[in-house]
Structures are given as structure tokens and as C-alpha cells.
Structure 1
Amino acid sequence: MGQDKRISLMIIIDILIIWMSILTSYYIRFDGQIPPASWHQAFLYLSVSTVICILSMRFFRLYNRVWQYASVGEMVTIFKAVTVGTILSYAVVYIFTMHRVPYSILLRNYETMLLFVGGSRFTWRVVRDRITKPVNHHKKALIIGAGDCGVLIAKEMINTSDAVLYPVAFIDDDANKQNQRIYNLPVVGTRENIAEVAEQMNIDEIIIAIPSLNRQETSKIIDICKQTKAKMKIIPKINSLIDGSVTVKEIRDVEVEDLLGRDPISVDLDGIANYVERKTILVTGAGGSIGSELCRQIAPFHPKQLLLLGHGENSIYLIEMEMRRSFPDLHIETIIADIQDRERINEVFAKYRPEVVFHAAAHKHVPLMERNPAEAVKNNVFGTKNVAEAADRYSCERFVLISSDKAVNPTSIMGTTKRIAEMVIQSLDKTSKTKFVAVRFGNVLGSRGSVIPYFKEQIARGGPVTVTHKDMIRYFMTIPEAVQLVIQAGAFAQGGEIFILDMGQPVRIVQLAEDLIRLSGFIPYEEINIEFTGIRPGEKLYEELLTSEEGLTSTKHDRIFVGKPTIINKSELEMEIKALERVLLEDRSQIEDELKHIVPTFLNVS
């Protein structure tokens, strides 16, 4: 039905309600025997009320509402429109006739109009709710959180005819809501009852609709939900609740990041701005997972110029296009260069004179570097040395090296080369005006070559998911939080420090695999199997954050700690690195011997 026809029909219905309410009020008042004089008043009152009440309803926009979504707000509007219309009609009749309408008729008319005007609007709502009861093709949803967000999501799912999900119940920890019905859905228990309810009601999907909950509590609820066979979804943001605009579009699948139980990171914006704003910033490895995120998070602090340096033209092109779209006013320069090319790196520094360098370019894949040790050394050691010495030569203010927890008591070629890179910048710091620091953290969720994308690919193929060892554990961070802390750590730089990022509790890799399988809607070991393949060359069961000589002290940020700078003899390190360079073309054992000479804690397990 068109809008004009719908409005005309509603006006006709309201006119009939006005007539019926006034005539029945007079009829009841006079026990069916209305005196002739009262008939004259009744017709005058009826005529005046018809005009004034319809105008009042138009003024309060009762004809411009979608009544299938009617709620308390619409009830209040009906009350206002009927009240204003009734009072004005009564006043007009009294003014023109100087005879008042009996109060009993006024009150009965008012009550009848409220009842029938409101009833006519909500009839469609009731009919629609009955029409949209769940049918067989709907998936049953259990909503955790019977607050504003949960109710808004339930309402939209119920009122959307083509919705795949249909809510059947709420879970809420509020004792006052237990055994109550909210939006005609029962509150069937607290978080402790999730598994039981999901089984009894054959729940297909669980929606966590408490966006104000901190990540630690969210992680606990997700752990409970993992006991069920239901797929998990979550409402991630609280911003959309401010204006009541939350919709089912806000619902997303629960990701592994949600399982880490991390509270949002707060950064010292002033401290960061002080060393980034209006400065020329160089990011090496800008096309990689960490490098590209560094670019995204540095850009809002208004650098004078952002230099994106990388070896792969495709990845640099992609981050350049993204940055130009997102920050059209930012001065961006893209540089294709290999950090192993000393002359090219010096040329870049001479031309652009960067004031702050974030060095993220590195080979990081452990098993691959075990098979190509010379390439790991050339890129991670000599590449870092080239960039760091150029930073010193051209008087950069700060140099931040992205390091790894694999550099601590390394068991791999990759980890050892990262430790030597740390030693290189620490030795330079002793004599340089540049503040050289390193930031050390663990695995990054979703980065290229990391375990998460690999597991997802295996799950998509139907399994099996391969895990090296059932007891292997790793520290994990999300890419954005790792990069935020890297930038923040740069603000604390005094020179020579190794900053260690707090990554929370380590995660068992097999548990990570199980969680990913569940989050993908499968049952581990039944629908998707997990196979153990054995530890790969260079890997160890757990990673460490500090070498034995490093002490740990806190900083102004509760997620960033600093290791005591170690004493490194620059001239000795130079000689050892030259010796390492001479054996790069030799066999693997000679490279390993030189690496062990530089890093005595290196214990190759391959």
C-alpha cells in the first residue's frame, strides 16, 4: 500500500474512532435516552473534535510513523496527541456554547480514544510479530546480554522478514532479570547456564551483545561458549549505542583476537606527537604486516613527510594507494630499495634526511631461514647495519628496531640474526647522537606467514590442521596493538634500551587451533582433525623475553617494560661481523659457528 493511501486510511479510522467514542460516551451518560438538547451539543462536540483531534494527530506526526516498529516512544506520542486534541475540543465547545460538556462524557471519551487510537496502531505490530514467528529455515540465536544492545538486536532480527537468525532467549547475569520476559523473549539464566541452554534449545548461534564489557570478561564468556556446538558472534563496539543506531550489521564473527582477553591500549598522544609531528619519518619494510600498520598509525600524527621503503614493488604500491586514499593531504614518498644495498640506503638518507626511522624490514620465517642462513644474515644483520649506520651518519633523532622474542637465547638462525641486529644498534648508540632502541615482542596475529592464516587455510580445505607439538606455547599480539606499543615505546627512548611489550599470558598453539576450528563452526577432532607433525628446525617449545643479563624495569606505560642496556664493545662486534661476512659463501656449519661466536647463547636445535 502506498504512503498516501495508508495515511488516508488511518485518518478515516481515526475519524470513526472519534465519532464512536463521543456517541458512546453520550449514550452511556444518559442510559440510552439522550435528550434533544444534548444531541445538539453532541453533534457540535463531535464536529469540533473531528477537526481538532485530526489536526493534533497530524501535528504530533502520528501519520508519519512505521507502526510495525511501535514502542514506548509511540505510546507517549499517542498520549500527547489525544490529550491535546481532547482538551482543545472541550475548550472550543465551551467557548462557543457557554455550556460545558459533562465531565463524565469528557473522561469517557478521552479513555475510549486513547484505547482505540493506540490499539489501532499496535494491532499491526501484534499481527506482524505473529507472522514473523520463527520458521524451520531460521537459525536459533541465543543473545547474551538483555540490556539495551541485546534488546535492539533482538527487535531488529524479529522485525526483519528475511533474517537468517531468530532470537529465542536471553542470557543475563542480572539477578533481577531472571525468569522475566524482555521483548517477549525469556531470560533463561546466567553465563553459567549457557552450555545447558544451548543444548536444550538447540541453539545454532550465540550472540554476545554486551559491547561495554571489557575484553577480559568477554574472553571468559567466549571460553564458556566454546563448550557448546553453536557458532559465536559478537557486537564489538559501544559507540553505535549512543544514538541507538546499533543494527544486525554490527554483528561479526568472534575472532581469535577476542580470545586474548586484552583491554584496549591507551597511548600517550602528546608524547607520540612530540617526536613524530612535523618530522620526516622513514618506515623500512613498509609493505609488510608491521610496516604497513606503522604507516597507518603514524599518519594521524601529522608527520611532515612519510617515506615508505620496501623491496617488493607490489606491497609498496598497495600501501601507497591505501595511504593516499586515507590521508590525501599527507606528503608521501615511496622508495623501492633493498636494505642490503649500502649505497642505495645512503642515497635515500642523503636525499630525504629522515628524522625518525622505524626499521621493520626483516626476514622472519624461522624454518625458511634455517634453510637459507646466508640470506637471513645478509638481510637481518647487514641490512640493519646499513640502515642504522646511515641513520647515525645523517644525524637522525631516533631509530626504532622492530625485534623479536626469538632473539632471546635463540635456537634458530632467524632469532640469532635478530639478536645481532639488537647488538648492532646498541653498540652504535654509545657513540651516536641518534637514540637507538629496539622493541621486542612475540608473534603477531594475522601477519604474513603467521600461524593463524595458515590454520584458516587448512580449515577451509577441510583439514587436518597441523600443529608441531602439543605443548608448544607462544605469546601473541594483534597487529594494531603491537604497533601502537612500538610507537609509544619510541617516545620513551633515551638510547640503547630494549623495550619489551607485555603480551599477557602465553597461548598453547593446539588450543589456538581448537579455538579456530570451533569459531569456524566445526568440532575439533571430529569434523576437523588436528595432527602433530613434530618441532620444525629452529623452533623451541616456548619463547623468552629477556636474556640473562637484562633486568626488567617498568616505564610510564603499563604494557611496556625496558631491559637494561647491555655493554657491547663496538670494535669487537665490528670484527666479528666482518668475520661473519667472510663465511657467508661457505657451508652452513661455518655460518653457525660464527653466529655462535657472536651470540654465545645460540643453541641450534635443527
Structure 2
Amino acid sequence: MSKWGDRWSSSVPRVAVVTHDLAMVWLVWEGLHWLRYSVMPNPPEMALWSTEVVLVLAAQGLVFWQVGLYRGLWRFASVPDLWNIFKACALGLFAIVLGLFLYNRLDLVSRTVLVLYPLVLMGLLGAPRLLYRAWKDSHVDRGGQASVRILILGAGHAGEALVRDLRRFGSYQPVGFLDDASRLRGTKVQGVPVLGRVEDVAEIARETAARLLVIAMPSADADAMQRVVVACERSGLPFRMVPRLRDVLEGRSLPGELKEVAIEDLLGRQPVLPDWKAIRAWLGARSVLVTGAGGSIGSELCRQCARHGARRITLVELDELSLITAEATLRRDFPDLEYIPVLGDCGDPAVIDYALRQAVPEAVFHAAAYKQVPLLETQVREAVRNNVLATRTVAHACREAGVGTFVLISTDKAVDPGNVLGATKRLAEMGCQALADQRCTRFVTVRFGNVLDSAGSVVPLFREQIRNGGPVTVTDPEVTRYFMTIPEACQLILQASAIGTHEAIYTLDMGEPVPIRVLAEQMIRLAGKQPGRDISIAYTGLRPGEKLHETLFHADERYRATAHPKILQAEPRAIQAELVQAGLEKLREASGRYDCEILSMVLRELVPEFQPIAHRAPAPAERAIVVAFPSRAARKS
């Protein structure tokens, strides 16, 4: 009984809308004819109902239904709905003319009425819808709570849409816009006045008694965002921002959700836009395996694969809690896919062989690695075992199993290694290169710089230090790093994998390096505090193995452009595969004995460019060399 009752009650509003629209059709048709014939000396008699009127109502009603006029709700009527009404009225006129022509050759139908009919009908159908929405917007139930007064920074499309959304919620009251465009000064957007410039936010916020600032500038670059954030901080009020469309589409923000300004919004580099069509064409319906699937990169890589067409994802992870968390998140967000969790060390041949048999993957992403530079300087054995020998084990197993693509996730520290992390990742690249064979598995290496907010990175460290009241520790006032976000890094991995070249090394043109000192200052400001006044910055000196600046490109690796404008392909440096194979066996034996001295010696022999920073003096021109990008002409040559 309740099911039929619910169905009946839900159909009542639609019946009322249909009745209203047909009543308007009758009123317009009869009214226009009455007005037209009323000026004649002997007007013909017009019946309120006739076969002609029934044909008009039937033709126009059928067009209304076919155009989809009743799929929308009056509560959310907008300009697209008016355009839909106009199309329905125009097509309805055509249907009416055709029907009446066949019925009575348009006898007693005024040509003036035919011209005016769609225009008048559009007004009588559209006006009630817009008036109803305006009435609903002005009578939203506020639950007895006072509205929060909001000042919006940015009077563009995002600001206009934000006002409409805020009015629906009812608990927020937009009191004004701020925008630097002089042409907007004194105007109104959705009835809300543009009060002044962004830099005047502190003064205008006091005058309007605003309690919250919202930045509605989703297309603003990093410099503009930094200026806006500084202005907001001067006001002393909390502030939020409208998320970028990119964040909404990729699931990092919900439509209509206001988010806090993140550090990536203030860094001076544009995000890389991937070629999703190429990625989906390569990834679609594939089975993939990800090692280190519970880590920052591994878990996001699994999400990207699930979002863009993979049918089966195998998660290999050593940490049980990370594996449980990653799998549960995937099953919640993408319940229709198949997941195979494998708990174990991917460097164990039995574990990786079992995982490959279970998954039968067409692509393997090797994300498992140790990455903490200072720690690995004193943990050579584990660095070699996990970063080199485990990579060799996984890569060799993939080649034996006939996996189509093996992707090694490397780092910019492998370009010109000055620490154990860089040297082990460079040797991992060489080990994959030694296994490469044009007739079997395609080996791909992807390098990128530091990843914002990844586990153990500088951003979570700074955030914790700021939460504890400081000081924020920076190694050196001049130290710089290249940064990218976790989703961006994973998109680069998928994009490079989709390009399809055999035995390739890909790197991202990451723009300009970011001074860590500036990063620390921005994070302090985002926390609503002032660097040097509320939170101090302490310089502790470079830690073991750390460089002042990182290198993205090596002189012996000739770089060329790819199908993606921000991804460059490097030509692998020549290696002697036999020597690499023999060296890896020596490392395996020394690792079994935990002989760190032999491990360090063999590592330097196999990676001759590895010069530990503690044992070398910086070259005079090092700083200029390492921050330079190859010219566009050189990339294309």
C-alpha cells in the first residue's frame, strides 16, 4: 500500500505541472485569437472547446513530453530550462500548423496568432518557474539559526554560482563581492553588490560584519592565490576556497564543497593535464598489479587505475594495516572491480610469483621502495635489499611470466646520485635495463621529484611542527626541491605507461624548483600564523646525503619530446648488462651476510657517477647546472 501511495504522491506535482502548461497553451491560443478577432466588425464565434483546440493541446503536449520539459524541477529552473521551453514552443507551433493544415487547411487560424504564439507561451511557461524558484530561494528553512555573513572574493562565474548555492543552504548570507576588475565596481551579481578590491578585504570585512571569507577564483595562478591569501590573513577571519573543476572531476572535492586552501594551491607550478583518452585506451579492461600498494603513491595509483578502466587490481603490500586500509577504500569507492590483496614482501620470489599467478596482470607498477634520504645513509643493506634486489626480483618474475608492461617508479635523485637512495634507485633502473628485451616485457621507468603530502615527506613534518607551536625546521635557507601532488605523480605514471615505447625513461618538466624556506612560510600562513612572529623557522643544516638542489636531467641522456607536452623521454645511458648482472649477484651475497662494507663498495662500482655528498666538494657551477632545464630546441632535436 505504501509503495502505491508513494508513487501516487510523487506523480501529483508532475500532473499539476502538466495541467498548468496545457492550461497556458489553451489560454494563449484562445486569448490571442480573441484579441485578433475582437478588432473586426463582425468577429466569428469562437467556442471555448472544439476539435481544433483539442488538436492544439494534443500536438503541443506531445512536443512538451518529447522535448523533456517534465524531467526538470521548478525548484532549480534556470536559463537552460528557458531555452528548452523556447524549443518546445517553436516545435509545438510546427506540430500545430501541420495538424491543423491536415484537419481544416488552417481555416480561421490567424497568421498573426501563429507569429505571437511561441513568444507569449514561452513567457507564460517560463515566468512561473523562475518566480517559484526565487520564492523557494528566499524562503529556505534556516532551522532557527542566524545566517553566517560571507564575503566572496571573485565576482566571476564561480562567485555567481556560489551565491546561488549558498542561498539554497539558507544558513549563509552573501553580503558582498570583492574583485579587482574596475568595470565591476558598483555593480551587482545575483543581487549582491561588488564592494571593492581584494586587497581591501580587511576593511570591508569589518564594515560588513562578515564572519567568513570565500575565495571564488578557481582559475587563479599561484602568485594571485598567494596575494589573496595574504589579504585574507590580514582580516583575521577564517577563509575557504571554491575547489577547482579538476579536483571535483578527480574526486578530491565534492561539487559545492568549500575547501581549505592547500599548499599546492600556492606553489608556483601549473598541474599537468593528462591525456585521459590515451590512458583509458591503454588501461581499459586490464588486470594490473601494484607493489607497495598501501603507500602514498601505491594507493593513489590503485585509485587512478580503478577510476580509469582497470578490471582487476592486485595489491601487494608488506604492512598489514596499510593493505587493509587500501583495499577497504577501493572496495568502498569502486565496488564493481575485482581486488586481490597479497600480504608479503615483493622481494620474496615466492610472494611475487604467487601474486603473478593469481592476478595474471598485463601491467605491473613497482612502487615499493625505501625513500628517506638521511635514514638510508646509515642503512645501506636495507636500501640495497629493498630498492635494488627486490626490484630485480619483481622485474625478473614479470619477464618470466610474460607480463606486457613493467613500470619502475624512480626518482629525480637517481639522475646524478649523491646519496644511497639515489644510487640504489639508479641501480634499480640499470637492473631493469639489463633485463630489457624487445621481444618480451616492456620496461618503463618514470622519474619525478618530491611528492607533496606523501608519507614521511616535508609537508606532514611541517604541519606537525606548526601544530606543536614550532619551530619549523628547514635544513638550509637556499635549499630547493621540485614538487608535485600525489594524484599528479600517479597520472604521470599512467601517461608514460600509455605512450608505449620500449625500454624508456620518462621524466616530467616540473617547472621551477620551490625553496623549502618559502614552503615553510606558506604553510605557517595557511595555519593562520605569521612566520617569525608566531612560529619561528630554525635552520639545522643539510642532513647526511642531502643536496642543496636536485637535478632533473643528465647530460648523457638525450631528451626528446613525447606526445604529451610536459613529459620528456630520455635515452637510457649505455650499460654493460653482464657486469650489472654479476654485480647484483655480489650484492645479493653481501646482503645475505649483512656486509655493509662490501655493499657500499659494489654499489659505487656499479654506479660510477655515485659520489656521496659527504666525500665531495660542491662544484662551483653546480647550482646553475642542476636547476637548468634543456631548451625547447634541444628537447625537439
TM-score (normalised: structure 2) = 0.67
SS at match of 2:463: helix
The question of whether the paired residues in 2 share the 8 Å contact of 1:191 and 1:221 is answered with no
What is the count of residue pairs matched by the alignment? Answer: 480
- Name the aligned partner's letter for residue 318 of structure 2: H
Of 490, 493, 510, the match for 1:483: 490
Using the TM superposition, give the Cα deviation of residue 548 of structure 1 relative to its aligned residue in structure 2, in angstroms: 2.4
Closer, same or farther in 2 for the Cα pair 1:571/1:236, shift >3 Å?
same
Q: Hey, what's the Cα distance between the residues in 1 that align with 2:280 and 2:138? A: 54
Give the greater-gyration-radius structure (CA): 1
Counterpart check, 1:309 vs 2:328: no
Q: Quote the Cα distance in structure 2 between the aligned partners of 1:330 and 1:155.
A: 37
The sequence identity of aligned pairs, in percent, is 39
Distance, in Å, in 1 between the alignment partners of 2:483 and 2:269 is: 11
1:605 aligned onto 2:603: no
Mapped pair 1:143 → 2:152: yes
* Residues 237/548 of structure 1: CA separation in 2 closer, same or farther (3 Å cut): closer
Q: Which residue pairs with 2:346 in the alignment?
A: 339
Q: Distance in 2 between matches of 1:240 and 1:435?
A: 32
Is residue 2:291 matched to residue 1:284? yes
* CA distance in structure 1 between the aligned counterparts of 2:258 and 2:368, rounded to whole angstroms: 36
Structure 2 equivalent of residue 569 of structure 1: 576
RMSD of equivalent CA atoms? 3.7
On the 8 A contact 2:316/2:344 being kept in 1, the answer is: yes
Equivalent residues in 2 for 1:253-268, closer than 5 Å: 253-263=260-270, 265-268=272-275
CA distance in 2, matches of 1:240, 1:553: 30
Q: Which amino acid aligns with 1:604?
A: P
Amino acid paired to 1:499: Y
Deviation at 1:405, TM superposition (A): 0.7
Write out per-residue CA displacement over residues 549-582 of structure 1, whole angstroms, 9 at most, x where no aligned residue.
1121111111211111222211011112223334
Matches within 5 A, 1:8-87: none
Q: Within the alignment, does 1:358 sit opposite 2:365 as a pair?
A: yes
Classify 1:580/1:197 alpha carbon distance in 2 versus 1 (closer, same or farther; 3 Å): farther
1:321-362 CA-partner distances (Å, limit 9, x unpaired): 111122222111111121221233233324433221111011
Deviation at 1:176, TM superposition (A): 1.8
Question: Helix, strand or coil for the counterpart of 1:583?
Answer: helix
Closer, same or farther: CA 399–232 of 1 in aligned 2, 3 Å: same
Quote the offset at 1:217 in angstroms. 6.9
CA–CA distance in structure 1, aligned partners of residues 254 and 311 of structure 2: 40
Return closer, same or farther for 1:198/1:499 CA change in 2, 3 Å cut-off.
farther
List aligned pairs for 1:109-508, cutoff 5 A.
142-151=151-160, 153=162, 169-180=176-187, 187-191=194-198, 206-211=213-218, 213=219, 215=221, 219=225, 221-222=227-228, 225=231, 228=234, 230=236, 231-237=238-244, 250-263=257-270, 265-430=272-437, 433-508=440-515
CA 1:525/1:221 → structure 2, altered by over 3 Å: closer, same or farther?
closer
Question: Matched residues in 1 for 2:163 and 2:334: separation?
Answer: 38
Secondary structure in 2 aligned to 1:250?
coil
Q: State the AA in 1 paired with 2:561.
A: S
Give me the whole-angstrom Cα distance separating, in 1, the residues matched to 2:255 and 2:308. Answer: 34
Q: Is the 8 A contact 2:213 2:232 kept in 1?
A: no
Structure 2 residues not aligned, in runs of 5+: 1-73, 80-130, 615-637
Residue by residue over 1:51-72, the C-alpha shift from the partner in whole angstroms, topping out at 9 and shown as x without a partner, is: xxxxxxxxxxxxxx99xxxx99
SS in 2 for 1:260: coil
> Using a 3 Å threshold, how does the CA distance of structure 1 residues 546 and 308 change in structure 2: closer, same or farther?
same
**Residues 162 and 558 of structure 1, relative CA distance in 2, 3 Å threshold:** same
CA distance in 2, matches of 1:493, 1:173: 47
Change in 2 beyond 3 A, CA 1:227/1:493:
same
Separation of aligned partners in 1, 2:311 and 2:531: 51
Instruction: Give 1:466 deviation, angstroms.
Output: 1.0
Q: 1:257 to 1:392 in 2, by over 3 A?
A: same
C-alpha separation between the residues in 1 aligned to 2:515 and 2:232?
16
In structure 2, what is the equivalent of residue 593 of structure 1? 601
Report if the CA contact (8 A) 1:156-1:248 is conserved. Answer: no
CA shift for structure 1 position 597: 1.2
Alignment match, 2:547: 540
1:496-535 equivalences under 5 Å are 496-535=503-542
| Structure 1 CA distance for aligned equivalents of residues 247 and 483 of structure 2 | 29
What is the CA–CA distance in structure 2 between the aligned matches of 1:159 and 1:348, rounded to whole Å? Answer: 51
Change (3 A) 1:561 1:238: closer
Assess if the C-alpha contact under 8 Å between 1:309 and 1:335 holds in 2: yes
SS of equivalent to 2:613: coil
Distance 1:398 1:175, change over 3 A: same
Aligned residue in 2 for 1:553: 560
Contact in 1 for aligned 2:152/2:214 (Cα 8 Å): yes
* CA–CA distance in structure 1, aligned partners of residues 255 and 584 of structure 2: 58
Between 1:514-523 and 1:339-348, the stretch displaced more is 339-348
Secondary structure of the residue aligned to 1:376 is: helix
* CA distance in structure 1 between the aligned counterparts of 2:176 and 2:358, rounded to whole angstroms: 65
Judge conservation of contact 1:153–1:248 (CA < 8 Å) in 2: no
TM-score, length basis structure 1: 0.71
Structure 2 CA distance, aligned partners of 1:412 and 1:309?
Answer: 27
Per mean C-alpha deviation after superposition, the further-off stretch among 481-490 and 580-589 is 580-589
Question: Is 487-496 or 338-347 further displaced after alignment?
Answer: 338-347
TM-superposed deviation, 1:262: 4.9
Quote the Cα distance in structure 2 between the aligned partners of 1:541 and 1:349. 41
